[in-house]
């Protein structure tokens, strides 16, 4: 995080050398070419193709005719799309803020440790390293209705992922469990970067109690990290697909069908490649707009 | 001059000789979706074929089963990058033929390797030809049938004996008619405390659909009229079939929310008296019994007649050729593919080890199969009552119908939604999906 501050403070000699490089395209172009070729082939071209596809009635292999904006007219009136969007918003609400707060809480605990701090940090990060298929398989077993350990301990008989009410919260819980380690890491770095002297000075000036120190020193100084975590979280959680695909497949009665799963079902199960592309475009615009709004509102400094 | 010339000639002969005398085998690429016991049998057939001749070398790649497989085939056909031969499901023919993924295989082509349409189970051929007529070219087959596979009932003889419902012939008593069968299930529950029926009803989307479709077909229900999707029977027969399934569940006679592996484990560990599942679990039972790891005696029977007529959900594995328009099969490769198909069909007794009923009549009616246990306990009866999915594109293995069923009908089994709601939402979804 501290890098963000340093960038504004580029040493004079670096600036001079940058000027030198920009002045010589014959050197610059060959140096940039490998990146540019890959960028054009794997980022720009697919993006352009998806935009073009969204104006066609193509099947999944991309073969189809131009139908103008008909897919966009359809998506506006498509109740299933709006329902999927609402399910995605619900998932975002269940994950973004809780994941940030829990990450912060764990980071406080880790920072206070005098011994085994590295070990604790590693343990929190462990789940984040696991592939999503392993994570979902673990929780499908833990929360299994007939033999799962949770139902056994609490003598419940809940089918967590196949009952309408708990299905989405359970999916959100698994997501938080899986990804919170990354937030812990960010917050630990942020907390360690706050100079000790501020706390000492505040104590000398008569600040008493942990809450006051947190409210007036930790929280404001940690804000660049917190806001960055929130933005990254929002972007990641809007794109929810894997966990739902592996845990519930959108059921029961479509209660956990999120936008990308709906896109998948349209494009890959029903061979509506064109409409699937339109759904992707809609989600792209939603993520773009909400991220810009969020960055403005939270005044994310690092971005 | 002469001397060096002959040296060159000799060198050429040495280099080219092996190629001329024993040409390198022509590679044939195959795609399949076969896991578990089926995968083992398939690999055995491929290896046996490669060992049996030297002209061709088949390499088979296993891809994910279900929608993913068929999406892969379609994108491959469009891109001109396909296998030379592949496994396929009869229930996916309507979609596959409509999308142009399958190359027709004529009777003349089959005759070139000693097979003919007439050599196969006539029910399968007729069903397949109806697909050809409706979605492709009339009169041809878009795949060569390999088997019929269907829903059967596995039973634990020890538990049934304990409950006093095992007959002298080693088959369960009291399985004909829904009331009799339900009474038998209750008797088993009371006498043994075991779960009467285990079936897969969790993450596996096919299980509940197959059982429901079996009950629905036995009640005379159909989802297609004049070749078109028709869901009117859902409100009457459809509800009745779901109600039957639901009533078993609410009385604790069948499990719900149990994943595929757990459902099979309940039976193999002796905790359930019956298992309703596809015949593809036969290798599991055979292997466990052979290794002495099964703590009880088991049997397998065709699905009993509970309602108006005998019926059990069925599908068929087929051997098909991807319709690669950009890079069509050379005459040489086609011959290799057909030779391979003929070999597999003539050795379908190996394939029957997977519990399936061979489609090739000489093997189906052959001595090996009659002596094969436990296949001989159910094959003859099961073959008479097979009920295939309707011939319209919304149906088909692992596809949209499975998802819709799991999504709306399965929750009714545990009472999450009423049967009326489940059926009306299911109808709504299937109508949308068929558009």
pLDDT in tens, B351-393: 999 999 999 999 999 999 999 999 999 998 999 999 999 988 8
Determine which of A2-11, B71-80, B364-373, B414-423 has the lowest per-residue pLDDT on average.
Answer: A2-11
pLDDT value, residue A13? 52
> How far lies B27's CA from each of A213, B16, B50, B60, in Å?
74, 20, 10, 11
Residue A152 domain flag: yes
pLDDT value, residue A3? 44
Q: Which of A164, A251, A268 sits opposite B71 (nearest CB)?
A: A268
pLDDT value, residue A121? 87
- DSSP 8-state class, residue B152: E
Enumerate the residues of chain A whose CB falls inside 8 A of the CB of residue B433.
270
Mean pLDDT (whole number) for B158-183 = 95
Enumerate the residues of chain A whose CB falls inside 8 A of the CB of residue B262.
144, 146-147
**A interface mutation test: which of B199, B252, B254, B259 has the most A CBs within 10 A?**
B259
List residues in chain A touching B: CB distance below 8 A: 59-63, 80, 140, 144-147, 159, 162-164, 249-254, 265, 268-271
HEC profile of B316-359: CEEEECECCCCCCCCHHHHHHHHHHHHHHHHCHHHHHCCCCEEC
Whether residue B415 contacts residue B250, with contact meaning beta carbons closer than 8 Å, is answered with yes
Judge whether residue A16 has pLDDT over 80. no
| Distance, CA of A245 to CA of A239 (rounded, Å) | 12
List Cβ neighbours of B295 (8 Å cut-off, separation of 6 or more): B269, B270
pLDDT value, residue B70? 92
CATH of the domain at A201: 1.10.3720.10
Mean pLDDT (whole number) for A109-121 = 88
Mean pLDDT (whole number) for B215-235 = 93
Mean pLDDT (whole number) for A59-66 = 82
Enumerate the residues of chain B whose CB falls inside 8 A of the CB of residue A265.
400, 403
Instruction: Flag if B257 and A62 touch (Cβ within 8 Å).
Output: no
With cut-offs at 50, 70 and 90, classify the pLDDT of residue B214.
Answer: very high
Residue A105 domain flag: yes
pLDDT value, residue B11? 55
pLDDT value, residue A21? 52
Strand, helix or coil at B234?
Answer: helix
pLDDT value, residue B391? 87
Report the chain A residue with the minimal C-alpha distance to residue B422.
Answer: A253
- DSSP 8-state class, residue B409: I
| Distance, CA of B387 to CA of B355 (rounded, Å) | 17
Quote helix, strand, coil % in chain B, to nearest 5: 50, 15, 30
Mean pLDDT (whole number) for B200-227 = 90
Report the chain A residue with the minimal C-alpha distance to residue B74.
Answer: A61
Strand, helix or coil at B13?
Answer: helix
Using a pLDDT cut of 70, give the percent of chain A over it.
91
CA-atom Rg of chain B in angstroms: 24
| Distance, CA of A123 to CA of A19 (rounded, Å) | 46
With cut-offs at 50, 70 and 90, classify the pLDDT of residue B20.
Answer: very low
Query: Domain range for residue A253?
Result: 80-266+290-298
Judge whether residue A96 has pLDDT over 80. yes
| Distance, CA of A4 to CA of A299 (rounded, Å) | 14
- DSSP 8-state class, residue B79: H
Mean pLDDT (whole number) for B283-295 = 94
More confident residue, B260 or A93: A93
> How far lies B90's CA from each of A99, B124, B218, B295, B314, in Å?
47, 8, 21, 37, 10
Q: Which ipTM did the prediction report?
A: 0.79
pLDDT value, residue B267? 96
The domain total for chain A is 1
With cut-offs at 50, 70 and 90, classify the pLDDT of residue A5.
Answer: very low
Judge whether residue A167 has pLDDT over 80. yes
With cut-offs at 50, 70 and 90, classify the pLDDT of residue B257.
Answer: confident
| Distance, CA of B184 to CA of B272 (rounded, Å) | 14
Residues in chain B: 435
Residue A221 domain flag: yes
Tell whether the torsion through CA atoms of B228, B233, B239 and B245 is positive or negative.
negative
Determine which of B262-276, B364-378, B390-404 has the lowest per-residue pLDDT on average.
Answer: B390-404
Residue A165 domain flag: yes
| Distance, CA of A103 to CA of A189 (rounded, Å) | 12
With cut-offs at 50, 70 and 90, classify the pLDDT of residue A1.
Answer: very low
Residue A59 domain flag: no
Instruction: Flag if A162 and B67 touch (Cβ within 8 Å).
Output: no
**Token pair of B181 as six digits:** 């069968």
Report the chain A residue with the minimal C-alpha distance to residue B411.
Answer: A252
Report the chain B residue with the minimal C-alpha distance to residue A137.
Answer: B203
Judge whether residue B9 has pLDDT over 60. no
With cut-offs at 50, 70 and 90, classify the pLDDT of residue B203.
Answer: low
**Nearest chain A Cα distance for residue B67, angstroms:** 7
| Distance, CA of A256 to CA of A250 (rounded, Å) | 4
Q: Which of A61, A144, A249 sits opposite B403 (nearest CB)?
A: A249
Judge whether residue A227 has pLDDT over 80. yes
Judge whether residue B288 has pLDDT over 80. yes
**What residue has token string 């069923």?**
B405
**Nearest chain B Cα distance for residue A249, angstroms:** 8
Exposed (0-12), middle (13-18) or buried (19+): which is A29, by Cβ within 10 Å?
A: exposed
Mean pLDDT (whole number) for B42-47 = 96
| Distance, CA of B405 to CA of B422 (rounded, Å) | 9
With cut-offs at 50, 70 and 90, classify the pLDDT of residue A199.
Answer: confident
User: Average per-residue pLDDT in chain A?
Assistant: 88
Which own/partner contact pairs does B22-27 have at CB distance under 8 Å and 24+ positions apart? B22/B54, B23/B55, B25/B50, B25/B54, B25/B55, B25/B56, B25/B57, B26/B55, B26/B56, B26/B57, B26/B332, B26/B333, B26/B336, B27/B56, B27/B57, B27/B59
pLDDT value, residue B8? 57
Query: How many Å is the maximal CA-CA distance in chain A?
Result: 74
Interior angle at CA B74, CA B72 and CA B80, nearest 5: 95
Mean pLDDT (whole number) for A269-287 = 93
**Nearest chain B Cα distance for residue A140, angstroms:** 10
Whether residue B28 contacts residue B337, with contact meaning beta carbons closer than 8 Å, is answered with yes
List residues in chain B touching A: CB distance below 8 A: 67, 71, 74-75, 77-79, 99, 202-203, 205, 255, 257-259, 262, 399-400, 403, 406-408, 410-411, 414, 416-417, 425, 432-433
Global confidence as pTM: 0.85
| Paired strand residues for B58 | B28
Residue A276 domain flag: no
Enumerate the residues of chain A whose CB falls inside 8 A of the CB of residue B416.
163-164, 252
**Nearest chain A Cα distance for residue B381, angstroms:** 34
User: Average per-residue pLDDT in chain B?
Assistant: 92
Enumerate the residues of chain B whose CB falls inside 8 A of the CB of residue A252.
407-408, 410-411, 416
Q: How many CB atoms lie within 10 A of CB B42?
A: 24
Mean pLDDT (whole number) for A232-259 = 93
Enumerate the residues of chain B whose CB falls inside 8 A of the CB of residue A249.
205, 403, 406-407
Instruction: Flag if B255 and A146 touch (Cβ within 8 Å).
Output: yes
pLDDT value, residue B432? 87
Q: How many CB atoms lie within 10 A of CB A1?
A: 15
| Distance, CA of B422 to CA of B37 (rounded, Å) | 35
With cut-offs at 50, 70 and 90, classify the pLDDT of residue B25.
Answer: very high
Mean pLDDT (whole number) for B93-112 = 94
Crossing angle of helices B282-290/B36-52, nearest 10°?
Answer: 80
Residue A130 domain flag: yes
Report the chain B residue with the minimal C-alpha distance to residue A157.
Answer: B257
> How far lies A247's CA from each of A294, B84, B193, in Å?
30, 35, 32
List Cβ neighbours of B61 (8 Å cut-off, separation of 6 or more): B29, B30, B31, B32, B83
Judge whether residue B316 has pLDDT over 90. yes
- DSSP 8-state class, residue B301: E
| Distance, CA of A257 to CA of A248 (rounded, Å) | 9
Residue A201 domain flag: yes
Judge whether residue B231 has pLDDT over 80. yes
HEC profile of chain A: CHHHHHHCCCCHHHHHHHHHHHCCHHHHHHHHHHHHHHHHHHHHHHHHHHHHHCCECCCCCCCCCECCCHHHHHHHHCHHHHHHHHHHHHHHHHHHHHHHHHHHHHHHHHHHCCCCHHHHHHHHHHHHHCCHHHHHHHHHHHCCCCCCHHHHHCCCCCCCCCCHHHHHHHHHHHHHHHHHHHHHHHHHHHHHCCCHHHHHHHHHCCCCCHHHHHHHHHHHHHHHHHHHHHHHHHHHHHCCCHHHHHHCCCCCCCCCCCHHHHHHHHHHHCCCHHHHHHHHHHHHHHHHHHHHHHHHHHCCCCC
Instruction: Flag if B79 and A140 touch (Cβ within 8 Å).
Output: no
pLDDT value, residue B16? 53
- DSSP 8-state class, residue B25: P
Give phi and psi for B56, each to the nearest 5: -130, 150
Spell out the domains of chain B, with CATH numbers in brackets. 25-146+316-365 (3.40.190.10), 151-312+390-433 (3.40.190.10)
Whether residue B211 contacts residue B151, with contact meaning beta carbons closer than 8 Å, is answered with yes
Whether residue B337 contacts residue B86, with contact meaning beta carbons closer than 8 Å, is answered with no
Judge whether residue B245 has pLDDT over 70. yes
Using a pLDDT cut of 70, give the percent of chain B over it.
95
């Amino acid at each position: 995080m501290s890098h963000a501050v340093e960038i504004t403070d580029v040493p004079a000699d670096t600036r001079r050398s940058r000027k030198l490089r920009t002045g010589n395209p014959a050197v610059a172009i060959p140096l940039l070419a490998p990146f540019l070729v890959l960028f054009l082939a794997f980022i720009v071209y697919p993006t352009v193709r998806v935009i073009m596809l969204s104006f066609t009635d193509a099947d999944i292999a991309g073969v189809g005719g131009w139908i103008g904006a008909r897919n966009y007219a359809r998506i506006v009136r498509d109740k299933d799309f709006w329902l999927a969007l609402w399910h995605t918003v619900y998932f975002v609400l269940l994950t973004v803020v809780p994941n940030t707060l829990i990450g912060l809480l764990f980071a406080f605990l880790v920072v206070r440790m005098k011994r085994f701090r590295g070990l604790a940090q590693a343990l929190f990060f462990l789940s984040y390293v696991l592939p999503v298929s392993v994570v979902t398989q673990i929780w499908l077993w833990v929360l299994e209705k007939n033999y799962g350990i949770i139902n056994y301990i609490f003598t419940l008989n809940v089918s967590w992922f196949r009952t309408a009410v708990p299905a989405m919260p359970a999916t959100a819980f698994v997501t938080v469990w899986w990804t919170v380690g990354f937030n812990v890491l960010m917050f630990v770095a942020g907390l360690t970067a706050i100079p000790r002297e501020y706390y000492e000075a505040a104590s000398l000036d008569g600040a008493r109690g942990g809450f006051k120190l947190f409210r007036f020193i930790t929280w404001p100084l940690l804000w660049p990290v917190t806001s960055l975590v929130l933005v990254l979280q929002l972007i990641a959680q809007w794109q929810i697909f894997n966990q739902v695909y592996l845990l519930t497949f959108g059921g029961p009665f479509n209660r956990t069908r999120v936008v990308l799963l709906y896109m998948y079902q349209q494009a890959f199960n029903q061979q509506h490649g064109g409409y699937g592309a339109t759904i992707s475009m809609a989600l792209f615009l939603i993520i773009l707009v909400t991220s810009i709004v969020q960055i403005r509102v939270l005044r994310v400094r690092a971005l | 001059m002469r001397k060096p010339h002959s040296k060159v000639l000799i060198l050429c002969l040495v280099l080219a000789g092996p190629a001329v005398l024993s040409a390198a085998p022509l590679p044939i690429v195959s795609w399949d979706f076969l896991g578990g016991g089926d995968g083992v049998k398939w690999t055995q057939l491929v290896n046996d074929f490669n060992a049996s001749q030297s002209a061709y070398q088949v390499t088979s790649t296993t891809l994910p089963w279900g929608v993913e497989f068929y999406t892969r085939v379609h994108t491959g056909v469009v891109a001109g990058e396909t296998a030379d031969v592949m496994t396929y499901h009869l229930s996916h023919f309507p979609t596959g033929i409509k999308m142009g993924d399958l190359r027709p295989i004529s009777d003349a082509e089959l005759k070139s390797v000693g097979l003919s349409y007439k050599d196969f189970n006539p029910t399968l051929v007729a069903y397949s030809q109806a697909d050809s007529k409706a979605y492709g070219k009339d009169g041809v087959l878009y795949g060569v049938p390999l088997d019929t596979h269907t829903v059967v009932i596995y039973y634990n003889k020890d538990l049934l004996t304990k409950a006093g419902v095992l007959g002298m012939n080693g088959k369960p008593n009291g399985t004909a008619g829904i009331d009799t069968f339900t009474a038998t299930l209750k008797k088993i529950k009371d006498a043994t405390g075991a779960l009467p029926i285990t079936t897969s009803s969790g993450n596996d989307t096919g299980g509940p659909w197959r059982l429901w479709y079996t009950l629905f077909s036995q009640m005379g229900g159909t989802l297609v009229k004049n070749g078109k999707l028709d869901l009117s029977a859902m409100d009457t027969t459809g509800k009745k079939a779901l109600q039957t399934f639901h009533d078993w569940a609410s009385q604790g006679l069948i499990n719900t929310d149990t994943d595929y592996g757990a459902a099979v484990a309940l039976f193999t560990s002796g905790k359930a008296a019956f298992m309703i599942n596809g015949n593809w679990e036969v290798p599991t039972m055979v292997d466990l019994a052979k290794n002495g790891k099964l703590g009880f005696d088991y049997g397998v029977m065709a699905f009993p007649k509970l309602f108006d007529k005998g019926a059990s959900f069925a599908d068929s594995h087929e051997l098909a050729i991807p319709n690669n328009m950009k890079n069509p099969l050379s005459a040489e490769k086609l011959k290799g593919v057909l030779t391979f198909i003929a070999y597999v069909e003539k050795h379908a007794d190996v394939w029957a080890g997977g519990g399936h009923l061979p489609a090739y009549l000489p093997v189906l009616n052959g001595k090996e199969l009659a002596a094969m246990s436990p296949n001989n306990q159910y094959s003859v009866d099961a073959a008479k009552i097979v009920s295939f999915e309707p011939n319209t594109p919304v149906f088909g293995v692992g596809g949209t119908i499975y998802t819709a069923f799991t999504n709306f009908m399965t929750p009714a089994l545990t009472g999450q939604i009423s049967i009326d709601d489940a059926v009306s939402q299911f109808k709504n979804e299937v109508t949308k999906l068929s558009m």
